[in-house]
Amino acid sequence: MKNFLIYSITIISILAIAMLIKIDNKNLEPNTLYEVYLEGKSIGVVKSKKELEDYIDAQNSKFKKDYNVKRIYSPNGLDVEKILTYDKKVDNVSSIYNKIQENKPFTISGYQLTIDYTNKRKSKGKTEKIKSEIIKIYVTDKKVFDDAIVNLFETFVGTEQYEAYVNKTQEKITTTGVYIDNIYIGNDLTIKKMNIPVTEKIYSDSNELTQFLLFGKENKKSNYIVKSGDTIETVAFNNKISTEEFLISNPNFTSSKSLLFPGQQVVIGITDPQIEVVVKESVVKDVQNKYQTIERYDDSKQVGDDVILQKGENGLERVSQIVEIVNGNTTVVTPISKEELKPKTDRIIVYGKKQVSGVGSTKSWGWPTNSGYTITSPYGYRVSPFSRYRELHYGVDISGTGSPVYAPNNGTVTTATYHYSYGNYIVLNHNNGYYTLYAHMSRFAKGIKVGVNVARGQIIGYVGQTGSATGPHLHYEAWRGKPMGGGSRMDPLSLYN
């Protein structure tokens, strides 16, 4: 009987408690709260998602001022999820903010620009990737990037020329001149809108971005005080930059022939372009067809008893080309046509006593390619189109697709082989103290091999694009003494002065 009473009381108690809970739950609704996750890990619960977002924005007014933006956002990797719970406990917004701040940077709305800077070269008919670099740039507004690109175009093309190109007001070529066919970015470029961490370098000024795109992160610049006798060419060479780089850093000078005066301060800027500005131009120009010197020998005359039978006179040719220029450097010249305006007259000189075969004259040198050529890269400092590092370009690059390569003087072939950088190249010993080198040839002429003597004007090979070459051209070097063997390089054009 006693156990029955205890059992009954227990049942009644349980029912009473259940009734109380049921009655109480009629008036109990779940709370709508927001759980905060950082990189997938919960860091607390807040009453309002908007309250947290507004607090983040209010605490970072400095970044809004720095980047001239209206709002600061949560870090990437922060998620706020709505939850329903009977638990009324919430965290203070400031404590959640502190946890976020300790682990992840806050963000602003902007754009990420990804530049694929991949350099390639052709070697033995195959395309080989030699350097690949991905550059990421962040801007607050796409217009910042667009304006910077316009600044680059104007830097490499010229403001007036670029405006004429954009406005389609360029004058058509009637006789000679230059007409810009196209201007574009040569890199693969992607743009996407995103929230950018404030710890990244973010550009909000197009002029600042322009400087980065031109000179890179290091932005190496120094001042130079002009001395008596300085020219733009000598100042550039002595400071290991190209004349084009000098003009980029000193836009107040319109050409490499502009005059300098002693005491004048100029900027020496070492460019490191982060993007490729490609310009394609139609060019028609009148160029000299330089006369050759024809040497004859007379055994009946004494050595030194030289007679000029005919004076030389340069001819004139009108040459049409398509020229591709990357960041101010000519990379490819495609010949279109050539018209003779005035024939050349070769110089004929008779030397007493025939010279020994293989010994070149020190008095005159022939040109190694056909007429109608363009010197695309002179002897001097430049940024390599392959490595993007600064280098002294030891020769001159001469355009002329398929043109024969001529020996400019009598000499002996000392090298005729392939090199990964020079491609097919030949070295001539002129047995007069000078050596010359010819690189990137498509092939050697028949019979050309080491030990063979060649005469001035003899074909030794053909212009090509082997080795490290951005386009078809002849790389022409001159040495006093043996190349890579104690000799010293010199500007080949000095042979013709």
Q: What average pLDDT score do residues 131-147 get? A: 90
The separation between CA 267 and the C-alpha centre of its own chain, rounded to angstroms, equals 21
pLDDT of residue 23: 43
Q: Residue 20: pLDDT band by 50, 70, 90 thresholds?
A: very low
pLDDT of residue 151: 94
Q: What is the pLDDT of residues 211-260, one digit of tens each?
A: 999 999 888 899 999 999 999 999 999 999 999 899 999 989 988 999 99
Q: What average pLDDT score do residues 398-421 get? A: 93
Separation of alpha carbons 49 and 101, rounded Å: 17
CB 409 within 8 A of CB 452: no
Percent of the chain with pLDDT over 90: 71
> Is the C-alpha dihedral spanning 440, 444, 449, 455 positive or negative?
negative
Q: Which domains does the chain have, with CATH numbers?
A: 27-104 (no CATH), 119-269 (no CATH), 277-496 (2.70.70.10)
Q: What average pLDDT score do residues 329-341 get? A: 93
Query: Burial of 368 by CB count in 10 Å (0-12 exposed, 13-18 middle, 19+ buried)?
Result: buried
Residue 26 has pLDDT above 50, yes or no: no
* Dihedral, 269, 270, 276, 280 alpha carbons, nearest 10: 60
The separation between CA 19 and the C-alpha centre of its own chain, rounded to angstroms, equals 81
Considering all CA atoms of the chain, what is the largest pairwise distance in Å, rounded to the nearest integer? 158
* DSSP per position, 56-109: HHHTTHHHHHHHT-S--BPPTTEEEEEEEES------HHHHHHHHHHHS--EEE
User: Would you mind telling me the total number of residues written for the chain in this entry?
Assistant: 497
Separation of alpha carbons 135 and 151, rounded Å: 19
The separation between CA 453 and the C-alpha centre of its own chain, rounded to angstroms, equals 42
Tokens 């009637």, residue located: 174
109 or 134, which is more confident: 109
Separation of alpha carbons 418 and 301, rounded Å: 43
Residue 358 has pLDDT above 70, yes or no: yes
Residue 85 has pLDDT above 50, yes or no: yes
Q: What average pLDDT score do residues 199-222 get? A: 93
Point out which residues pair with 352 in neighbouring strands.
Answer: 298
Separation of alpha carbons 243 and 81, rounded Å: 60
Separation of alpha carbons 382 and 254, rounded Å: 19
Separation of alpha carbons 445 and 454, rounded Å: 11
Tokens 């690949």, residue located: 132
* Dihedral, 399, 405, 408, 409 alpha carbons, nearest 10: 160
Closest CA to 148 of 185, 179, 181, 195: 185
The pTM of this model reads 0.76
Q: What is the pLDDT of residues 38-73, one digit of tens each?
A: 999 999 999 999 999 999 999 999 999 999 899 999
38: helix, coil or strand?
Answer: strand
Separation of alpha carbons 185 and 134, rounded Å: 15
Q: Residue 396: pLDDT band by 50, 70, 90 thresholds?
A: very high
Structure tokens at 117: 């800077």
CB 241 within 8 A of CB 381: yes
pLDDT of residue 121: 46
Separation of alpha carbons 327 and 186, rounded Å: 10
* DSSP per position, 277-325: EEEEEEEEEEEEEPPPEEEEEETTSPTT--EEEE--B-EEEEEEEEEEE
Separation of alpha carbons 248 and 265, rounded Å: 15
Torsions phi, psi of 381, nearest 5?
Answer: -80, 145
CB 156 within 8 A of CB 328: yes
> Is the C-alpha dihedral spanning 42, 47, 50, 55 positive or negative?
negative
Q: Residue 353: pLDDT band by 50, 70, 90 thresholds?
A: low
pLDDT of residue 307: 87
Tokens 């007001």, residue located: 169
For the ranges 17-31, 330-344, 444-458, the lowest mean pLDDT is seen at 17-31
447 or 262, which is more confident: 262
Q: For 213, left (φ over 0), alpha (ψ -120 to 50), or beta?
A: alpha
Structure tokens at 196: 């950018």
Residue 8 has pLDDT above 60, yes or no: no
